[in-house]
Amino acid sequence: MKRLLALVVCLALLVGSPAYAGSTVRNPLNGSADPTLTYVDGNYYLATTLGDRIGIWRSPTLAGLATAPETTVYRDPDPSRNRQVWAPGLYRFDGRWYIYYTASDGTDANHRMYVIESAGADPLGPYQFKARIADHGEYAIDGEPFVHNGRRYFAWSGPGRGMGGPAQIYLQAMDTPWSTTGARVALPASGGCTEVREGAVGLRGPGRLFLVYSSCDTGKPDYQLWMKSIADGLDPLVPANWVQHAGPVFWRNDAAGVYGPGHNGFFTSPDGTESWIVYHGKTTSAYTYDGRTTRAQRFTWNADGTPNFGRPLGLGDPPAAPSGDPWSSQDPGSARGYVAGDEKQYFDRTPDGNLGHWWQQPDGTLRYDTWGGPVAGRPTGFLAGAEQHAFARTPDGRLRHFWWAPGVGVRAEDWGAGLAGDPAGMVTPNGQKHVFGRASDGTLAHWWQETDGTVRRDNWGGSLVGTPTAYTFGAEQHVFARGTDNSLRHYYWFPGIAGNRPALDDWGAVGTVHSDPTGFASGQQQHVFYRTADGSVKHRLFDHGDWQIRTDNWGGNLAGAPYAFRHGQTQHVYGRGVDGALWHLWWQPGAPVRTQSLGGALTNDPVGIAFRDEQYLFSRSAGGSLQTHRGTTVTVWPAGQIAGDG
């Protein structure tokens, strides 16, 4: 934050409908370079350079790619082409998927281009080797197909660095998805430097095809995108038919700390209304190939029909998620439930005092196991990369950390004493794990784990009751809790804050908070919800655009604490009604807040997750079993029970 929020409470509180600013995408999406990305059938698919194989990451949300597991779809046993595997391009033709890539025998000069083909319609394969493509007996890289006038063409870069002159773009017609035909054509292309023209990718615009390519050495900070275009109806194999657009169209942004943006791809938002670019960039101006990571952001179109890519965004400036992207509850903050890959996960305390873990596999199978104990109260959990982390209070007030990693299983460790309430936590952009909870003296205790595994702690002060909620907002950390005077206590920390100590304010909500708060960050806004004395749900939001707090009342008649999350453009609050039923309150742009009873019989406060176009609410049934609500459909899980005081 650039100013202390304590100043905000002096401003007049404005009553009105909440505004939606979109869930955000935290770049980078992947730790490698040369990305290709597509959205199809409810999932994003991303591939990047891996060097010895071709792997794909899949996620129903764009943000989820950052934590999705890799699926290795092809590893070539042939030593003549299984090293220096670069720049996969993922395309679908005639019902099958094709990946175009570059590989060698370990000698750069021997790079050639290859194609693998899927056995069916699944982008994850299986794949088989199909062919070497566009082989003219010399160095060739970065091959990608494009379609113009209804016909497929292939674009690539050759002959290579220092091998017959600077790399340039070549074009050739394709007769099948895995072969070219006829003569190749060299396409002159400007670039502001002499050494490289590579990674040419087609982009369909109104009445024209744009060929966007990278220029300059990718290790340099001035690696950048340039563009040529051709009108519909003209032959792309005639170089004179192409128009060279002057100057770079996407280049370094020193103010945002982005250098060498390039080797891009394009994709469309899930609802088809937005255009997006995926590319790699780095955070150093040094001449190095290390540190290139995959990022994505939206772009627009100019009045003359040309694309406007804007400037590359810094890693601290997360873009709003693509329109129609189903928000996943794994980001931000933590909860007892979240999505890991395609599996819905939930944690709670069992009657025998262990940490219970329930999950639903992609085929719908319901599973259950325990991660150990003893634990007290209700735990919290979140994802960190491919790992799953859960934190819980032990009966003697210690913070217990459980985590699972692929191929390793569940491990546990003790983070120390001093916890009197249930924990809440988050993962910050730098990879640190943070956990907050009420200490025995009512102050806010804070633990965090450095990326090297070192656990540290401090105390953020205050006087609170109940369980806090916590989330990140860019590089900032925000914690909300109920004060002993029924106020909304807001703790916050940001890099550069005076004395490196957190600050505290009350958001103007004194004497009105009668439950644990719940909330989330959304675009440039922060939203917090809580139950008032009359059982209605109060909503407060802070807008970083105009630096004001707004408040309204969503109604309802709840008992216990509500639970809030976003799903697409809609904001949702669920809670246990005084009648024991599951109540749903929601708001979407252009409509008033609506309220609905979903029935059922809850004996504790629900926890929710959003998954694709579905919402799941977890709670305890009258018999003590875990139950999920999906709309008015209630499923009782076959194994494990939740403790009665959970």
Q: Structure pTM?
A: 0.63
Torsion of CA 286, 292, 293, 297, to 10 degrees: 70
SS3 of 556-603: the string is: CCEEEEEEEEEECCEEEEEEEECCCCEEEEEECCCCCCEEEECCCCCC
pLDDT at 355: 95
Given 76, 117, 198, 552, the catalytic residue: 198
Task: Report the alpha-carbon distance of residue 174 to residue 153 in Å, rounded.
Answer: 5
Give the pLDDT band (50/70/90) at residue 254. very high
Task: Specify the amino acid at residue 34.
Answer: D
User: Would residue 34 show up in a list of annotated catalytic residues for this protein?
Assistant: yes
How confident is the prediction for the chain on average, in pLDDT? 89
Domain ranges of the chain: 36-308, 332-641
| Residue 362: pLDDT band with limits 50, 70, 90 | confident
pLDDT higher at 5 or 601: 601
pLDDT at residue 334 in the model: 47
The pLDDT-based confidence of 5 (bands split at 50, 70, 90) is very low
pLDDT at 328 > cutoff 50: no
Check residue 333 and give its pLDDT.
42
Known catalytic residue: 274? no
Give the tens place of pLDDT for each residue, 185-205. Answer: 999 999 999 889 999 999 999
Task: pLDDT band for 46, please (50, 70, 90 cuts).
Answer: very high
Is residue 146 scored above 90 in pLDDT? yes
Evaluate if residue 181 carries a pLDDT over 70: yes
Cis peptide before 429 (omega within 30 of 0): no
**Which superfamily does 332-641 belong to?**
Fucose-specific lectin (2.120.10.70)
Question: Which tens digit of pLDDT belongs to each residue from 268-325?
Answer: 998 888 999 999 999 999 999 999 999 999 999 999 999 999 999 998 888 888 887 7
Task: State the DSSP H helix or E strand holding residue 294, giving kind and residue range, or none if neither.
Answer: strand 293-301
Whether 6 has a pLDDT exceeding 50, the answer reads no
Q: How confident is the model at residue 41 (pLDDT cuts 50, 70, 90)?
A: confident
Q: Cβ(271)–Cβ(259) under 8 Å?
A: no
Are the C-beta atoms of residues 17 and 592 closer than 8 Å to each other? yes
Q: How confident is the model at residue 164 (pLDDT cuts 50, 70, 90)?
A: low
Q: Which residue has the higher pLDDT, 453 or 213?
A: 213
Residue 522 has pLDDT above 80, yes or no: no
Class at the top of the CATH hierarchy for domain 36-308: mainly beta
Query: Residue 29: helix, strand or coil by DSSP?
Result: coil
3-state secondary structure of 150: coil
Distances (CA, A) of 154 to 34, 40, 239, 562: 18, 23, 14, 55
Q: Say yes or no to pLDDT of 16 above 80.
A: no
Give the pLDDT of residue 172.
98
Per residue in 96-121, pLDDT (tens digit) is 999 999 999 999 989 999 999 999 99
Mean pLDDT of the 130-148 span: 96
- Which band of pLDDT confidence, cut at 50, 70 and 90, is reported for residue 326? low
Higher pLDDT, 526 or 67: 526
Residue 56's pLDDT band (cuts 50, 70, 90): very high
The total number of residues shown for the chain amounts to 646
Per-residue confidence band for 480, with pLDDT thresholds at 50, 70 and 90: very high
Phi, psi of 31 (to 5 degrees): -90, 15
3-state SS string for 461-513: CCCEEEEEEEEEECCEEEEEEEECCCCEEEEEECCCCHHHCCEEECCCCCCCC
Instruction: Report pLDDT for 427.
Output: 81
Tokens 């406060």 appear where?
Answer: 605
Query: How far is 382 from 469, CA to CA, in rounded Å?
Result: 13
pLDDT tens digit sequence for 417-469: 999 999 998 887 677 899 999 999 999 999 999 888 899 999 999 999 999 99
* Share of residues in the chain with pLDDT > 90 (%): 71
Per-residue pLDDT tens over the stretch 69-94: 899 999 999 999 999 999 999 999 99
- The pLDDT tens digits for 541-599 are 998 778 899 999 999 999 999 999 887 668 899 999 999 999 999 998 889 999 999 99
The pLDDT value recorded for residue 387 is 85
